[in-house]
Each structure stands twice: as C-alpha cells, then as structure tokens.
Amino acid sequence: MSVLCWDFDGTLVWAPKLWTRSVYAALKAEDPSTKMKIRDVRVRMAWGFPWHEPEKDYRSSTGERWWQRMNIKFYEDYLKLGVSEPIARRAAQRVREFVLRPENFLPYPDASVALRMARKKGYRQIILSNNFPELPGIVKALGLGMYLDGYVVSGVVGFEKPNPEIFAVAKRMFPDETEFVMISDNTEVDILGARAAGMKTTLVHQVANLEADEWAEELSELKFLFGE
C-alpha cells in the first residue's frame, strides 16, 4: 500500500496571500495610521523565504530559530519600505501571531473527504510541506489531523522541497514501505522534486501536464481514491 504525501497550501487548503496579509496586518497593528498599501508590502515580500533557496541546509535554523530568521527578514523588509526602526522591530515580532491564525487557511471542500477516504482504503498519509514549524497544530485545528500518520515540515526538518533530503526524511518515516505518492498543485517544486526522489506523483488543481503520473482537477476526482 502506498504512502500518500500531501502538500498543504494550494493542495488541501487555500491561504491566499498569507504572508503579505500577515506582514501588513502586523504593521497596521503597530502603526494604525500607516500610509503603506498592501500592494507595497507584496512587492517587498517577494523574496527571502527559505523555500526560495531550497539547495541550502537549514537544519541550524529550525523550530524557534526558524522564526528568528524570518523576523530578521520581516524587520529588514519593513525598513526597506520606509517604516521607522521602532515600529519595524515591533511589527516584525508580531507577524507570527497573524500567520498562525487557523482562519487564514480555507480547506478545499473535498479535502476532508479525500483524506477520510484514503484512511478508509488503508493508505498511510502525511503532510509534506514547505512551511512554518507549527503547521501540525494548524492542520489539527482545521479538523484534518485525525486522518494523518505524521508530518514532514521544512521548518522542523531543515530542508525545503525540492531538495531531495526532505523527501528522504519522508521515506525514512516508513522504512517498510516501497511506494510513495506526492500529491500537490505545484509542478516545479513538488511534482518534479518528488519524481527525482523516486516517488510517484499526482497533480491537482492545475491544468494537466506530462510531468505528473496522474492528474485530477479536484481532490474528489482522484482515481486511486474514488475510481471504480
């Protein structure tokens, strides 16, 4: 039986402009009179996350240190946007509280159905995500954790997809299993990365392409779960 490796953002949930909105909300919380627009923040936020440089080894910056590294990025971004140093420092420390609100994450209508069906059919399944360390708590708050056997989160393990090391971590969780399937909406990072790591791949929520072994427009159309 295969191990299903689910991506999170864009695959099981929709979290539109999560980081931009959170950075902007933190700024507004510290400086309600700011003239900054959210579009200004979005342009500045376009680079600097660990997943933008997946070739690096981030094992020295996991857990709480992951946020310490990100807080420096937020602080520097605020300064480049013209925010004063005291406000930039305080706002950077508050971004985390806005990111970690479960209401930011909107599960696709068929996400729980797909996870439940996979569990019913006997699949083992995990979340395999480039994300912050607290992701398991968010998944559980959304009512999806009951279907999962574990999590491989970049902010915990120190590698970002498509780095082969993060896929290796997932495989080591189930040493007796030989078949792993990556399910994601992202071709470049997840589908190609997983294929290079020897996994089967399923693309969802995107136009079909030849890079993935299978494709489904909706999670409820996944043939290995809902086919005859």
pLDDT tens-place string over residues 112-149: 999 999 999 999 999 999 999 999 999 999 999 999 99
Q: Quick one: which of 12, 9, 216, 201 has its CA closest to 115?
A: 12
Task: Note the pLDDT of residue 228.
Answer: 59
Q: Is the pLDDT of residue 46 over 90?
A: no
Q: Residue 189 and residue 52: Cα distance in Å, rounded?
A: 10
Task: Note the pLDDT of residue 164.
Answer: 98
Task: Note the pLDDT of residue 100.
Answer: 98
Q: Quick one: which of 104, 100, 105, 92 has its CA closest to 24?
A: 92
Q: Return the half-sphere exposure (C-beta side, CA atoms, 13 A cut-off) of residue 217.
A: 1
Residues 6+ apart with CB under 8 A from 153: 127, 129, 131, 132, 133, 135, 136
Task: Note the pLDDT of residue 123.
Answer: 97
Amino acid at 228: E
Secondary structure (H, E, C), the chain: CCEEEECCECCCEECCCHHHHHHHHHHHHHCCCCCCCHHHHHHHCCCCCHHHCCCCCCCCCCCHHHHHHHHHHHHHHHHHCCCCHHHHHHHHHHHHHHHCCHHHCEECCCHHHHHHHHHHCCCEEEEEECCCCCHHHHHHHCCCHHHCCEEEEHHHHCCCCCCHHHHHHHHHCCCCCCCEEEEECCHHHHHHHHHHCCCEEEEECCCCCCCCCEEECCHHHCHHHHCC
Q: Residue 212 and residue 228: Cα distance in Å, rounded?
A: 21
Task: Look at strands 200-204 and 214-216 and give their pairing.
Answer: parallel
Task: Note the pLDDT of residue 91.
Answer: 98
Amino acid at 20: T
pTM: 0.95
Q: How confident is the model at residue 161 (pLDDT cuts 50, 70, 90)?
A: very high
Q: What is the pLDDT of residues 195-211, one digit of tens each?
A: 999 999 999 999 888 89
Percent of the chain exceeding pLDDT 90 equals 94
Q: Quick one: which of 160, 159, 169 has its CA closest to 199?
A: 169
Residues 6+ apart with CB under 8 A from 227: none
Q: How confident is the model at residue 17 (pLDDT cuts 50, 70, 90)?
A: very high
Task: Note the pLDDT of residue 129.
Answer: 98
